[in-house]
């Protein structure tokens, strides 16, 4: 089942990053990387969004890139950030040697955290107090 979700979702690709080197003082002041997209489709395990061109896009729309797998998708509910997904891949048709990331119309696929809520809760209970 695929449904269009009209809600605005915010994906934050990274938290504040650690400095790349001990001498690179500007890295400590780096802001969060984030962008906003509309969910295009969703099912029990996955959701997707498309990186639209400026005419069709939300302000600060974006996409995942190489190395972003596992990065969080965050939805803000009543001012509280909620983890809803983890970046998994981008859809692409064609020869992979011709792939170029960051293009408009790219579709990003995220695994839904809600699909794993029971496992997460069970694991926390089982291992939460162990060091």
pLDDT at 1: 45
pLDDT at 122: 92
How far apart are alpha carbons 105 and 107 in whole angstroms?
A: 6
110 sits in the region (left: phi over 0; alpha: psi -120 to 50; else beta) called: beta
Q: What is the pTM of this model?
A: 0.67
How far apart are alpha carbons 25 and 99 in whole angstroms?
A: 35
Q: Write down the domain spans for the chain.
A: 8-127
pLDDT at 17: 42
- Which of the two residues, 61 and 112, has the higher pLDDT score? 112
Closest CA to 6 of 38, 35, 37: 38
Lowest mean pLDDT among 25-29, 58-62, 71-75: 25-29
- Which of the two residues, 86 and 50, has the higher pLDDT score? 86
Computed on alpha carbons and rounded to an integer, the radius of gyration of the chain in Å comes to 17
- Which of the two residues, 95 and 61, has the higher pLDDT score? 95
Is 115's pLDDT higher than 90? Answer: yes
Summarised one tens digit per residue, pLDDT across range 45-62 is: 999 988 877 787 777 777
80 sits in the region (left: phi over 0; alpha: psi -120 to 50; else beta) called: beta
Contact predicate 82/72, CB 8 Å: no
Enter the CATH code of domain 8-127: 2.40.10.10
What residues contact residue 94 under an 8 Å CB cut-off, 6+ apart? Answer: none
């Amino acid at each position: 089942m695929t449904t269009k979700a009209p809600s605005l979702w915010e994906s934050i690709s990274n938290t504040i990053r650690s400095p790349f080197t001990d001498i690179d003082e500007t890295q400590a002041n780096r802001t969060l990387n984030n962008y906003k997209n509309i969910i295009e489709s969703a099912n029990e395990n996955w959701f997707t969004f498309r990186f639209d061109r400026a005419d069709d896009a939300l302000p600060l729309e974006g996409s995942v890139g190489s190395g972003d797998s596992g990065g969080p998708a965050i939805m803000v509910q009543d001012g509280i950030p909620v983890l809803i997904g983890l970046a998994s891949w981008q859809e692409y048709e064609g020869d992979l040697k011709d792939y170029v990331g960051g293009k408009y119309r790219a579709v990003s696929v995220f695994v839904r955290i809600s699909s794993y809520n029971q496992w997460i809760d069970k694991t926390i209970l089982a291992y939460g107090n162990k060091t």
